[in-house]
Every structure is written in structure tokens, then in C-alpha cells.
A and B are shown apart, each in its own frame.
Chain A
Amino acid sequence: MALIGFLIRRILSGIVVVWLVSTAAFFLFFARPVDTVARQLAGRAATPQVISEVIRNLGLNQPIMVQYWHFLEHLVQGNLGFSYFTGESVDTMLKQDLPPTLSLVVGGVVLWLVAGLTVGIISATKARSLFDRFSNVAVLIGLSMPVFVIGELLILAVFVPLNQHGVHWIQTGYSGPSQGLSTWAGHMILPWITLAAVQAAVYTRLSRGQLLDTLGEDYIRTARSKGLSERRVIFRHAVRAALTPVVSQLGVDVGQLLGGVIVVESVFGLGGIGEVSVQAIDTDNLPVIIGFVIIAAVFVVVANIIVDLVYALLDPRVRIA
């Protein structure tokens, strides 16, 4: 029961956050002259009459509070508005562009956590070994590299030579899993590595430090002196305790992950919602950008609720209620 109460409270506060973000986005974007959009739409040689007609058609001549009310009304119905240019619904546009983004996020996060935690745990259990030294250097380089540089270097060092030598499995652009899982993986493997690399470096450092800390605890010595196998000591006793701070860090990093997603989509031309939003800037297509900001807010809120739940499962001292 405590769980349901917790969920209800978190979802309600999440809705408030999303409302605040979308309101801020709305006023930030609409509290500025509307002429630019209208002029772009109406063409270079448009008369003032044509421009004012365009403004009327888009509903931009109404008082700002009326526009805000319409915006909220639509938002509650799950309608994010319509593109200024194609008249297409933003919902449909973003839904079309969601599969590449989802593929990227899911695969990238799995790779990020698996790689980061595995390397971190091995480094900590074999502290000061050759592996540990090597991974420390790799972590430092990973921390110093911008996401897009990793992506470009991967394309230059892997994609280009492979394709020149007739190996065409690895590709740029996006191809859905419906066109064959192998093709899909071939398109996604470099983006996954790119997205995972920087974050994995952070988590390797974090989990190594935490685990080294935990391995010095008295109860680890107790577990060893009971005659438990080293594997059992590390995985049952140490890793579980060491992971809790790592999980709480996850909630903070989800927002940064979104930034990485936008960059990776642009490097590999995946055409996901991040790339489409960046492109929408050039055309001043506000509804698309607001739609993306709202989806980003929802994503961060939901991910944080999940992180809190996992945290409570890992650490019995955390009371959900």
C-alpha cells in the first residue's frame, strides 16, 4: 500500500513539474514578435495583408492568455499542436521520429550500465593491476571527449574503412527492427557505443570508488572469515551495498543523457526527435520545439520515479512511504 501511495504522490508532483516546464516553454517562446514566422510562411514578396492573414490563421493574433488556454486544453488531450509549415500534427511527427530515439536510448543505456559497472567492479577487485591502470586511463580520456567527437572518430576509424573494404554491415542512418534485427543492429551499434562511452566512463569511476570503499567495511571481513567464496562476498555483500549511491546518481544523469541523444542522432543522421527539434530551430517551428521540451520533461520525470523505485528495492533502509 505504501508503494501505491508513493506512486500517486510522485506522479502528481511529476504532473506539476511537466505543467511548470510547459508553461515556461510556452511563455518563453510566444512572448516575442510573431512577424518572423508569418513572413517566412508568406514568402518574401508578401503584402502586409497576406502576413496579417497568416498570423490570423495560425491564431497568433489572439491575446496571449487565450493562446495559453488553448495550448493547455490541447495539452491535456495529448495534442501538442500543429507544425507551422506542413500543418502536420506535432504528435504524429514526433511519433514517427520516436523509434530511432527509443532504439538509441534503450540500447545505449544498457551498454552504458553494463560496461560502466563491469569495468568498475573488475577494477575495484583488482585495484592497481594492469587492467585497473588501463581502465583509469580510458576513463580519463572518455571524460575528456565530447560525445560528437567520439562519434565522428568511430565513423572515420570503423565505418569508412569497413565500407571501403566491402563490409557493409555497419551503416549510418536508421533502419527499424522490422527490416531485420541484424540490419537494425548494424545501424545502431556505433550510435550505442557513442552514447554509452562518456557515461560509462563516469560510472566506471563511480562504481570503482564505491566498491573500494565498501570492500574496506567490517562486514566484508566477517563474510570472508565465515569462509564464503570471494565471488559470493563481492557479488552478494559488497556490490549490492556499493551500487545504491550509483543508482541515485542515475536520476541526475537522465537529463544529461537527453543532451547526448540529440548529439548522437545528429552525428549518425538517425532522424530521431532530438535531431528533428534541432532542425526545427532553423525554421522557427515553435510547436515542434515545445513538443520536444515537454516530452523531455516527461521523460526525466518518469525516469526519476523508476530510479527511486529501484533505489528502494536495492536498499532496504530506504522507506518508500
Chain B
Amino acid sequence: MSLTGLEAAAAEVATDAAVVEGRSQWQLTWRRLRHDKVAMASLIVIVIIIALAIAAPLFVAITHHPPNTAYPNQGETAAGNPVPPGTAGFWLGTDGTGRDLFIRILYGARISLFVGFVTTAIGTLAGVAVGLIAGYFGGFVDAVLGRFTDAVLAFPYVVLALALAVVLGPSLPVIIGVIAFFSWAAIARIVRGQTLSIKEKEYIEAARSLGAGPFRIMFIDILPNLLAPVLVLATLYIPTAVVFEATLSYLGLGIQPPTASWGDILADAQNFYQVAWWYVVFPAAALLITTLAFNLLGDGIRDAMDPRTERVLAGRRGRGQRRRRRAGRPPVISSSSGVPGADSLAMRAEED
């Protein structure tokens, strides 16, 4: 058999190993995650919230209260204030103009989740692309992209939202654009660090010697090893995006009334502190439960993927990482945590 034939065979074995190894890694993670009570509870809460958001029109059919319809007679007290929960078929009371608060919170959930998922998806794709390119090519490309990433991380997002709301007028696409613009930088930074360490592995060298081009190496050979940390980052970014959206809508820079959004509901609630506690408490609780659930799930997935995280603090591995950092190298989240596939894959290639 010719040399290239041997290499091709070896590469085939390596790819097979990658597939098997990758799948079992996900299974391992899932098995650990299933025993994490907090993470599973968060997952259930998230599923319920998504189900409620999807089923919002169903609740409209039950209560006969469309989200943007005001009920000045049943929905307001004689003084024109919101009515408390449980009055006249309004499960959570009404808002400042006599609309059903429960229905509006459900419709607000649709906006929050939509913005959260869409911006995280855009930000993750962009962040992975920028991080891969910066980490793989290095040098000038890395320097330029690195500066740009730093600038975005330090930029006050409310100020940019302010500027864009003036120029383009506040709307859903503008809000998604602003949040996505700020979401990729943190992901890019971490993907870059990972790429730096992975690109030195033997199997990358093998791929290169087989004649693979840079984009094939980046997206076929390196990217699969990054999926685990990127998944954790994305899960943890969703609540941040939800908070962004709520804040911008609260300031009047985001979703415009009468469309319901949690930030906008809470902005209106400010006029009714003295008379309607439910007007503040329920949307605030919806917001807090959603973000908390995503944060707890993200933490859980991270722990499940790397069961060492807690022990690293005192262990030898942790100290080794610190020394490397002190030595002036970039703070790579080394292969010992985060990219489980990479290590074992390299080892397998050696065994073969």
C-alpha cells in the first residue's frame, strides 16, 4: 500500500474514532446532567415556559382576553386603577389600561424567548467564525480581530442602542441587531483560545499533510471539538440576551407598545406602585424565573461536561494552568477542561 493510502486509512480510523468518541461524550454528559437535580428542574421550568409561550393563543381562547384589548369596565376600578388578581376572570389582575396581565406576560414571553434564541444563535455563529479565524491564522488577522473584540466588549451597549434607536427608530429588528452585535465577542475570545491549543495537535498536522485547506481544517477538524464549550457559552448567553431585551424595551428603545414585552410592562407598572403590587411582581417574577433557569441549566451543563471544575480549585491540574498563565501565554482554557474530545482523540490517534 502506498504511503498516502496508509495515511488515508489512518485518517479514516481517526474520523471513525471521532464519531464514536463524540457520541459517547454527549451520552456521558447527559447521564451526569440527569443526576443534577437543580439542572433538571431548570430544564423542566424552561420547557414549561416555552410551552406557555407557544400556547398563549390557547389561553386567549379560554379567557376571551386578547393581549391588546382593554377592558375599561371590568378591568379597572372606579378610580381607573388596575384590578387585583382573580377579579372578573383576570387571573393575574389587569394592567394600567385594563388589559389582562396574565395574557400580556405570556405574549411577552414569546418576545423574550424569540429575541433570546435568535440573538444567541447569530452571536454564536459569528463568535465561532471570528474566533476560529483569529485563532487559526494568528498574526495580523488575530491582532486586528482581537482589537475589535476588545472594543466591542468595552462598549456601553445602551449607548449604542440609544444611537441606533435615534437613527433607525426602535423596532424588533434593531433590538435583535444591537444584542447580536454584542453577543459574539465573548464567544469569539474563548473559541480563539481553544483554537490556538487545538491547532497544535498531531491530527491537525495529519490533516494538513493530507492536503486539507485552512477552511477544511477549521470547520471539519477543529470545530467539532469546540461544540461542547460553545454549547455552554450559548446556554449562558440566552439569559443575558433576555435581560438586554427587557432593559432596552424598558427604556423605550426596544419593542414598541402595544406589543407586549416584559420590559415595557414593567416600565408602565412604575406609575402604579402604590395601588397595584401585582403589576410589578408578576412580570418581574416571570423575567427572574426565566433568566435564573437558563443560568442554572448552563452551570449544570458545564459541570456535567467537566466534572473536575470544582476540584480544579485545589488540585494540581489547577496549579499547572496557573503557571502556564503566569508564563505569559494566552489564558487558554486548556484541553484538560472544556474540550473533552480533543485529548482522547489525540491519544487514540497515537494508539492507532
Query: In the complex, A25→B158 CA distance in Å?
Result: 14
* B281: nearest chain-A partner, CB-CB: A156
**Does A193 reach chain B (CB closer than 8 Å)?**
no
User: Knowing A144-B288, A281-B252 touch, does A259 contact B166 (C-beta < 8 A)?
Assistant: no
A152 & B269 in contact (Cβ 8 Å cutoff): yes
CB-defined contacts of A153 to chain B, threshold 8 Å: 280-281, 284
Report the minimum CB–CB distance from B287 to chain A (whole Å): 6
Query: In the complex, A49→B153 CA distance in Å?
Result: 47
B252 & A289 in contact (Cβ 8 Å cutoff): no
**Does B1 reach chain A (CB closer than 8 Å)?**
no
B280 & A152 in contact (Cβ 8 Å cutoff): yes
Query: In the complex, A164→B275 CA distance in Å?
Result: 12
Query: In the complex, A156→B277 CA distance in Å?
Result: 7
A141 & B288 in contact (Cβ 8 Å cutoff): yes
**Does B291 reach chain A (CB closer than 8 Å)?**
yes
A155 & B273 in contact (Cβ 8 Å cutoff): yes
B159 & A296 in contact (Cβ 8 Å cutoff): yes
B251 & A141 in contact (Cβ 8 Å cutoff): no
**Does A149 reach chain B (CB closer than 8 Å)?**
yes
Stretch at the interface among A64-72, A99-107, A174-182, A260-268: A260-268
Query: In the complex, A262→B252 CA distance in Å?
Result: 12
CB-defined contacts of B165 to chain A, threshold 8 Å: 281
Query: In the complex, A118→B153 CA distance in Å?
Result: 26
User: Knowing A153-B280, A216-B314 touch, does A148 contact B250 (C-beta < 8 A)?
Assistant: yes
* B331: nearest chain-A partner, CB-CB: A245
- Give the interface SS of chain B, mostly helix, strand, loop or mixed: helix
- Give the interface SS of chain A, mostly helix, strand, loop or mixed: helix
CB-defined contacts of A25 to chain B, threshold 8 Å: 163
CB-defined contacts of A212 to chain B, threshold 8 Å: 313-314
Interface string of B315-334 (1 = CB under 8 A from A): 00011001000000000000
Report the minimum CB–CB distance from A133 to chain B (whole Å): 13
CB-defined contacts of B263 to chain A, threshold 8 Å: 146, 148
CB-defined contacts of A146 to chain B, threshold 8 Å: 243, 246-247, 250, 263, 287, 291
Q: Which of A28, A152, A164 is the one whose CB lies under 8 Å from B163?
A: A28
B247 & A263 in contact (Cβ 8 Å cutoff): yes
**Does B140 reach chain A (CB closer than 8 Å)?**
no
Interface string of A246-266 (1 = CB under 8 A from B): 000001101110110011001
**Does B93 reach chain A (CB closer than 8 Å)?**
no
CB-defined contacts of A304 to chain B, threshold 8 Å: 154
* A218: nearest chain-B partner, CB-CB: B319
* B247: nearest chain-A partner, CB-CB: A146
CB-defined contacts of A28 to chain B, threshold 8 Å: 163, 167
* B292: nearest chain-A partner, CB-CB: A144
Interface string of B239-277 (1 = CB under 8 A from A): 100010011001111000000000100110110011001
B: interface residue count bin: 35 or more
Q: Considering the complex, which residues of chain B in the window 16-34 have a beta carbon less than 8 Å from any beta carbon of chain A? A: none
CB-defined contacts of B291 to chain A, threshold 8 Å: 144-146
Q: Which of B156, B159, B273 is the one whose CB lies under 8 Å from A160?
A: B273
Report the minimum CB–CB distance from B286 to chain A (whole Å): 10
* A290: nearest chain-B partner, CB-CB: B163
**Does A75 reach chain B (CB closer than 8 Å)?**
no
**Does A223 reach chain B (CB closer than 8 Å)?**
no
CB-defined contacts of A149 to chain B, threshold 8 Å: 246, 266, 284, 287-288
Q: Considering the complex, which residues of chain A in the window 105-151 have a beta carbon less than 8 Å from any beta carbon of chain B? A: 140-141, 143-149
A289 & B162 in contact (Cβ 8 Å cutoff): yes
CB-defined contacts of B243 to chain A, threshold 8 Å: 144-146
* B299: nearest chain-A partner, CB-CB: A140
CB-defined contacts of B313 to chain A, threshold 8 Å: 209, 212-213, 216
Q: 27 interchain pairs (CB within 8 A)?
A: A140-B295, A144-B288, A145-B287, A145-B291, A149-B284, A152-B269, A153-B281, A155-B273, A160-B274, A164-B274, A212-B313, A213-B313, A216-B314, A252-B153, A254-B154, A255-B154, A258-B158, A259-B156, A259-B157, A259-B159, A262-B162, A262-B251, A266-B250, A277-B162, A278-B253, A282-B252, A293-B159
Add 17 more A-B contacts to A29-B166, A148-B246, A277-B162 (CB < 8 A). A32-B167, A144-B288, A144-B291, A144-B292, A149-B288, A153-B281, A156-B277, A213-B322, A255-B156, A258-B159, A259-B158, A262-B162, A263-B251, A281-B166, A289-B162, A289-B163, A289-B166
Binding site for A on B (CB under 8 A): 153-159, 162-163, 165-167, 239, 243, 246-247, 250-253, 263, 266-267, 269-270, 273-274, 277, 280-281, 284, 287-288, 291-292, 295-296, 313-314, 318-319, 322
Binding site for B on A (CB under 8 A): 25, 28-29, 32, 140-141, 143-149, 152-153, 155-156, 159-160, 164, 209, 212-213, 216-217, 251-252, 254-256, 258-259, 262-263, 266-267, 277-278, 281-282, 284, 286, 289, 292-293, 296, 300, 304
